[in-house]
């Protein structure tokens, strides 16, 4: 019988834990129950930072220096939004917009 694991997850710490877990437990046997408590709507976009962080990390796409977002990200759209809005505290990258 294969081991199945359910994990309550949110944010960078959980993403790093899951990254290690799927090295010892087959990914198809891991169920992630992701945190949505930090979700928000900003600039007309639904943003789910914890779910994105876990997804990007497990896909090998996350930025290891920041611990969140995509590696090699740019912020041109955010820079342009600053001209029209002061509400640019959330660092949403250009490629992250598609997610």
Residue 68 lies in a domain: yes
pLDDT tens-place string over residues 64-77? 898 889 999 999 99
pLDDT tens-place string over residues 8-49? 999 899 999 999 999 999 999 999 999 999 999 988 889 999
Residue 56 lies in a domain: yes
Label residue 58 by pLDDT band (50, 70, 90): very high
Residue 86 lies in a domain: no
Residue 58 lies in a domain: yes
Residue 1 has pLDDT above 80, yes or no: no
Instruction: Quote the domain boundaries for residue 55.
Output: 5-72
C-beta of residue 10 within 8 angstroms of C-beta of residue 48? no
Residue 59 lies in a domain: yes
Label residue 56 by pLDDT band (50, 70, 90): very high
Query: For the chain, how many structural domains are there in total?
Result: 1
Burial 69-85 (b: 16+ CB within 10 A, else e): bbeebebeebeebeeee
Residue 80 lies in a domain: no
pLDDT at 44: 86
């Amino acid at each position: 019988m294969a081991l199945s694991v359910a994990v309550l997850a949110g944010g960078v710490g959980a993403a790093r834990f899951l990254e290690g877990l799927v090295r010892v437990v087959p990914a198809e046997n891991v169920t992630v129950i992701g945190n949505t408590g930090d979700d928000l709507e900003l600039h007309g976009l639904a943003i789910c930072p914890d779910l994105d962080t876990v997804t990007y990390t497990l896909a090998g796409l996350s930025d290891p220096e920041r611990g969140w977002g995509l590696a090699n990200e740019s912020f041109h759209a955010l820079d342009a939004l600053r001209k029209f809005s002061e509400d640019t505290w959330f660092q949403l990258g250009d490629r992250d917009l598609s997610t």
